[in-house]
A and B are shown apart, each in its own frame.
Chain A
Amino acid sequence: MKYLFLGYGNLDRQDDGVAWHLLCEVMKRLNYPPPDLAEDEFPIAHGEYTFDFQLQLTPELADPLGSFDKVCFMDAHTGNIADEIHLEKITPEYQPSPLTHHMTASTVLSLCEVLHHHAPEAILVSVRGYEFKFTRSLSSPTAALIAPAADTILEWIK
């Protein structure tokens, strides 16, 4: 079974980059050292697990996605989603997005399906962001959600 953990967000905009912190936490829990910087070379493969971080989802991600069995997308969400930690199953389906440069996970899966005639099983785990200032440090309430969000992801791969 090949797993991809794909975090995305703008690390320079505080909680928008929560996926980076979550990706590092998942790597630690799986006993792999996280890289020092989000800008370091990705993806990083360790056995059946591959870890990746992107500023945003882009069309060219659709191709490599086809080589995985399971994909966990990680992102931030704002107050319009009630849950602090939101988990949803992602199916390949085009979703209108106001800005194509931040394609949705479903859209990338959909592109993958058209390219490869199949798409991996996928989930999206998103964490509530509270502040979006120009800093790389998470707000306290968002930082407190990292550990339980990692629990959710580790439960999914069991």
Chain B
Amino acid sequence: MVAQKITIEPVTRIEGHAKVTIRLNDAGKVEHAYLHVNEFRGFEKFCEGRMVFEMPLITPRICGICPVSHHLASAKAGDAILGAPPPRPASLLRELMHMGQIVQSHGMHFFELAGPDLLLGFDCDPATRNVVGLLQANPDLTVKAINLRKWGQEIIATLGGRRIHPVFAVPGGVNKSLKKEEREYILSGYDDAVATIKIGLDIIKGWAEANMEDINKFAVFPTGYFGLVDPENALELYDGQIRLIGADGKQLEKFEPSHYLDYIAEHVENWSYLKFPYYKKLGFPGGVYRVGPLGRLNNSDKITTPMANEELKKFKAINPGRPVENTLYYHYARLIECLYAAEHVKDLLDDPDIFSTDILNTCHNPQPQGVGVIEAPRGTLIHHYWADEQGKIEKVNLIVSTGHNNWAMCEAVDSVAKTYITGPDVREGLLNRVEAAVRAHDPCLSCSTHAVGQMPITIEVRDPEDNLIQTISRD
């Protein structure tokens, strides 16, 4: 048996480009698996020289999938640079838009990206293990799932005036208040949205019960967990302090987001363009942590909305007193957050300040730098700008959600490959599990470029000298 290298490129059903290489040794066992992120955007560099008020319009172009997260994180960094905290009504409206983003993104991921694996099975024929197969198998559910995503998108469009690249948040506030009829329109979709999310929760819990063996051997490993919380350690997605807990569940740090550089650093590997953030005091890789739904729920003691909080209690009961380490529970955590976001939409719409026109702080106290942090659907998103006295950007540092999870995604790929691939005869279903390890994190590798016929999947089998032994194309 000759040692082999298997390459899956790109990984399917995630947002962007990635490649998985699985190296088999002479015995046909997995030696190591790597997740490579092989694109480079350079956004930080070409933001230099732009004005701070332009940044909420420029940075959403980083991604066509979660532009709202960049839009809001950028506006928050702009608030700090201008020294202009937004009036409360503006923060409520920004948060409302953010909840729309969470609902549409989490809904899309669960029902349309992860759903085929969960509902049709990892080993199902790839010809039907997709959103159309799902629709054929569960037409009513799929229509509900499409409507759930649509509801989230409509919240964004109602506030931002556009379906993509919203023009809404500006440094110091927002540029549009909410009308009463807009509130009623959003509320009209609330009951259906919650009902659909609850169906999803029943699905994932039923699936977990029936697939406990997979859950317990699919990429289960200890890390720290990182994310925003409120003063009482309740889940926060828009504002708050950053909390970091260790693998044992004990709090390591809780700090103001603007101090992030005191606590985290980024490690570089020569086989990926994506850096590996870690907790400085524990070094790399000891200080690696996870973000996103699993990270946030492990990090939160409670949730401020009743239905999601009840689900959180069930989630916490999976591994009492300790963090939930199972990668496949990202899906359960994602739906609990989706439920929170939907419930929180109603809370925000019921707030007496929601119709206020006091939405922009025009009193400025310029600062040389500003940090904006938000919990994007995929995890903590950090925008850090340095500007001159006129507000011209001199330097930008962006730590995107997927970056925080980089080590965890690599570990998950390696773990799943070693668990499920036991010999040189690698079946499609096994490769799909490796891809699913990446998909569970819902990474956003931000390509947003898609021309006809550009992205077939190719799996290359190579020997240690890089000679091509076999090519499998999935197009």
Give chain A's interface residues, CB within 8 Å of chain B.
9-10, 12-13, 16, 39-42, 55-56, 58-60, 62-63, 75-78, 80-81, 86, 94, 96-103, 107, 110-111, 114-115, 124, 126, 129, 132, 134
Contacts and interface: CB of A to CB of B under 8 A. Distances in A.
Interface bracket on B: 35 or more
A78 B112 contact: no
A98 B451 contact: no
B410 interface: no
Given A59-B149, A96-B126, A98-B456, A16 B450 contact: yes
Contacts of B150: 60
A136 to B, nearest CB: 10
14 contacts: A16-B449, A40-B162, A59-B108, A63-B146, A75-B452, A77-B453, A78-B452, A96-B127, A97-B455, A100-B112, A100-B113, A111-B131, A114-B139, A115-B135
B357 to A, nearest CB: 23
B178 to A, nearest CB: 18
Given A59-B149, A94-B127, A96-B130, A114 B450 contact: no
Contacts of A10: 64, 448-450
B48 interface: no
Contacts of B163: 42
Given A58-B149, A115-B139, 5 more contacts: A60-B150, A94-B133, A96-B130, A99-B14, A100-B12
A54 B474 CA distance: 26
Q: Which 5 A-B pairs have the closest CB atoms?
A: A102-B450, A77-B452, A94-B132, A76-B451, A55-B64
A42 B68 CA distance: 19
A132 B162 CA distance: 24
Nearest to B9: A98
B451 A99 contact: no
B450 A60 contact: no
A98 B133 CA distance: 16
B112 A59 contact: yes
A111 B143 CA distance: 10
B15 A115 contact: no
Contacts of A80: 453-454
Nearest to B135: A114
A96 B475 contact: yes
A126 B453 CA distance: 11
A98 B452 CA distance: 12
Nearest to A59: B146
Interface of B: 10-16, 46, 61, 64-65, 108, 112-113, 126-127, 130-133, 135-136, 139, 143, 146, 149-150, 153, 161-165, 167, 447-457, 474-475
Q: Which of B64, B113, B165, B447 has the most CB of A within 10 A?
A: B64
A37 B249 CA distance: 49
A98 B12 contact: yes
A78 B149 contact: no
B185 to A, nearest CB: 15
A142 B273 CA distance: 30
Contact of B448 (A13, A39, A97, A110): A13
Nearest to A39: B162
Contacts of B453: 77-78, 80-81
B440 to A, nearest CB: 15
A10 B450 CA distance: 8
B455 A98 contact: yes
A153 B455 CA distance: 26
A15 to B, nearest CB: 8
B153 A60 contact: yes
Contact of A110 (B10, B132, B153, B456): B132
Contacts of A100: 12-13, 112-113, 130-131
Contact of A86 (B108, B452, B475): B452
A55 B67 CA distance: 12
Contacts of B15: 99, 101
Given A39-B165, A101-B65, A81 B132 contact: no
A126 B450 CA distance: 12
A54 B475 CA distance: 24
B46 A134 contact: yes
Nearest to A105: B452
B64 A111 contact: no
Given A39-B164, A39-B165, A114-B139, A77 B451 contact: yes
Contacts of A115: 135, 139, 143
Contacts of A75: 451-452
Contacts of B16: 99
B40 to A, nearest CB: 12
A78 B163 CA distance: 27
Contact of B64 (A56, A97, A134): A56
Contact of A107 (B132, B153, B447): B132
A54 to B, nearest CB: 8
B471 to A, nearest CB: 16
Nearest to B161: A41
A99 B13 contact: yes
A12 B165 CA distance: 11
B132 A98 contact: no
Q: Max chain B CB contacts within 10 Å: which of A55, A60, A101, A126?
A: A101
Given A10-B64, A99-B12, A99-B14, A111 B135 contact: yes
Nearest to A75: B452
A94 B132 CA distance: 7
Contacts of B127: 94, 96
